[in-house]
Structure 1
């Protein structure tokens, strides 16, 4: 069965974006960029592949990406309707109309039911790109958590997971520190 992997950048205080949704305080340091483009090439937008030296289409474990509307909006503001054209793209929104781009499916139904169905279909793993609200709704379905922990505190913003209190235990499976201070942490979900 396919796995749902929440792969995301975070501050030390657990935020994935500023209150306005911006995330430019997460610089892509050269040491981290080299690792990410080699280990996680599918997580870069399609339009950035050439400048980062990523083969097109990139190979890897994912063939689908899930994102909330706020995560999708920055691409739309740039006129990019299909930011991850190398993957099946699902955007969860109750306010967006169906996409004119055939590579993007707008999902206005229950994210949990949708993901459970998607996991049963043949294919590679599924990348949960963000944001915090969608991650909160799908937390019980997350099989693996990969956090690019950045050495910065911001005090407020969009949380890693936005939901009511419910403790979820994860098991650390890999730690990759970088000279820039970023640490990539991989966890698997505990028993459910």
Structure 2
């Protein structure tokens, strides 16, 4: 069974999107628009997104009009989208909408992933729900040289240092890449 990894980019002061759910700040960073292969989880066989992230991808990339763009980022991986709304699906994309809790959806997500990793793309609250369910194995953050006055927080949960163990810290272009292993609650006690 693979790991569940929340892998994202954030500003120095901990925002993953601005007040308008925009990632323009990220794309302004050299390497932000076309990230290095070292900045994305290569072993992920399934992706998980929240509604806001999914709608942003549809809106900002024109994927509904150009469905071939879906595979540029998502590949052929199944993508689970947590939402309570009916949303459009790009032609040829393997989208699986989920309206229940992380705990309820986890068996289907793990089955689709097989032995591969599960990449929680966004947002931070969805990743927090995986953490709350005891299902988050790693937190990988690519810190960009930018700050924002507000927006969507990286991880809107209080998590003590007893729950996160630094595995690596490297410089990749303009990004500081931090990878933390999430320790189970019982191991942290």
TM over 0.5: yes
Q: Unpaired segments of 5 or more residues in structure 1? A: 44-59
Asked whether the 8 Å contact 1:85–1:103 carries over to 2, the reply is: no
Aligned to 1:94: 84
Match of 2:25, SS state, is: coil
Q: How far apart are 1:132 and its partner, in Å? A: 1.7
Aligned to 1:171: 165
Aligned to 2:56: 74
Aligned CA RMSD, in angstroms, stands at: 2.7
- Return 102-111 or 12-21, whichever deviates more: 102-111
How many Å separate the matches in 2 of 1:31 and 1:13?
17
TM-score by length of 1: 0.76
Asked whether the 8 Å contact 1:135–1:160 carries over to 2, the reply is: no
How many Å separate the matches in 2 of 1:141 and 1:93?
19
Q: How far apart are 1:33 and its partner, in Å? A: 5.6
Moved over 3 A (4+): 30-34, 97-102, 165-168
Aligned to 2:30: 29
Cα distance change on mapping 1:7 and 1:100 into 2, 3 Å: closer
Q: How far apart are 1:117 and its partner, in Å? A: 4.8
Aligned to 1:190: 183
Q: Unpaired segments of 5 or more residues in structure 2? A: none
Cα distance change on mapping 1:40 and 1:15 into 2, 3 Å: closer
TM-score by length of 2: 0.77
Asked whether the 8 Å contact 1:31–1:179 carries over to 2, the reply is: no
How many Å separate the matches in 2 of 1:175 and 1:72?
29
Aligned to 1:127: 119
Asked whether the 8 Å contact 2:29–2:145 carries over to 1, the reply is: no
Q: What is the aligned residue count?
A: 171
Cα distance change on mapping 1:31 and 1:128 into 2, 3 Å: closer
